[in-house]
Amino acid sequence: MIACHKLCKDYGSFRALKNLSFEVARGEVVGFLGPNGAGKSTTLRILSGFLGPTSGDARINGHSIVDEPIVAKSMIGYMPEAAPLYTEMRVGEYLLYRAELKGVARASRKTAVSRVIADAGLDGMDGVLIGHLSKGYRQRVGLADALVASPPLLILDEPTAGLDPNQIREVRALISRLKEKHTILVSTHILSEVEAMCDKGVLIARGELIAQGTLAELRALRRPRAVRIRIRGDASAAKKALVDIQGAGETTIEDSADRSRLSVSFSDPDDADATTARIVAALSRVQIGVVEVVPSSSLEQVFADLTARAPTATAGDAKKRKGQR
């Protein structure tokens, strides 16, 4: 559905995207991840046809966004970051205008608009001036606009930014419902969001691709750096027992009130499994019951680790360098 090939984008002398290539298959929901300034919006603007790439190309359903922008654009429902809207128009009026602009046939325009008003949770708002709407509701109007021409592909730039927790949950639920009929590329820097609604993730930082794959693949990219253990017994004793275990680093008591949760870091992540076994054995030797053992590798951590490192030292490069040695 989307195929980016070596996208580069220069803003003056600043290179915001560097040879970015990735693909999104039909029917997938892909989370587009990256810290602030990574180039997410730049990429989505190129895909939606608002910006042109300095070099490289992107194909939407086989149509180049550079050479056939009109065809490519007609397959996309795009919601820009912060959903800018005409404040002097009414919600229904605006959506009707957008439907007409996107070439929805006159006969089906009204039904299309009432469908998206219901889908985006805007019931009863169609006579309200957009200038009078709260941020969350403007965001919904932006989403309704993206949906109004029933495009096969949705590109949403941070659809949940600035919403309250209830609205975030509603938007996520909506996106999960839209999965059935649309391919979706959604940008965010909130990882739990990707875990909640996406099949895949594409991670970028500083304009470069860092990692892509299914959520499990992304998690597996990073070995756990620590293990979290819930115990029955004295936490201080447990801490003492774990001082000299091979492969284990520091032990911390996670919650000073509860004192049943410990986190033990690994000094050598490649040896995580054996170290975990040694930790459990050491604890049972001093009569401390182990109730729960969870390797800690949330997507949050993967994200932090992968994007914090210099892009020249990604997992793939590290392997290459090892191989040369």
Q: Where in 95-154 is the site for other proteins (CB under 8 A)? A: 97-98, 100-103, 142, 145
Q: Does residue 40 bind ligand ATP (CB under 6 A)?
A: yes
Angle of CA points 278, 266, 253, to nearest 5°: 85
226 — phi, psi (to 5°)?
-155, 165
User: 208-247 mask for other proteins (x: CB under 8 A)?
Assistant: ----------------------------------------
Q: How far apart are CA 213 and CA 220, in angstroms?
A: 10
Contact of residue 3 among Mg ion, ligand ATP, other proteins, none (CB under 5-8 Å per partner type): none
Distances 147 to 90, 158, 216 between C-alpha atoms, Å: 18, 16, 30
| CB-nearer residue toward other proteins: 11 or 37 | 11
User: 24-63 mask for other proteins (x: CB under 8 A)?
Assistant: ---------------------x--xxxxx-----------
Q: Which stretch binds ligand ATP (CB under 6 A): 31-39, 142-150, 223-231, 264-272?
A: 31-39
311 — phi, psi (to 5°)?
-60, -20
Q: Where in 150-179 is the site for other proteins (CB under 8 A)? A: none
Identify the sign of the CA torsion 149, 154, 158, 159.
positive
The secondary structure element, H or E, covering residue 275 is helix 272-285
- Residue 298, both tokens: 């949330």
Q: Where in 226-255 is the site for ligand ATP (CB under 6 A)? A: none
Q: Which residues contact 307 (CB under 8 A, 6 or more apart)?
A: 34, 35, 38, 203, 205, 210
Q: Which stretch binds ligand ATP (CB under 6 A): 37-45, 213-221, 230-238, 312-320?
A: 37-45
The binding site for other proteins (CB under 8 A) comprises 11, 45, 48-52, 70-71, 73-74, 76, 78, 80, 82, 84-89, 93, 97-98, 100-103, 142, 145
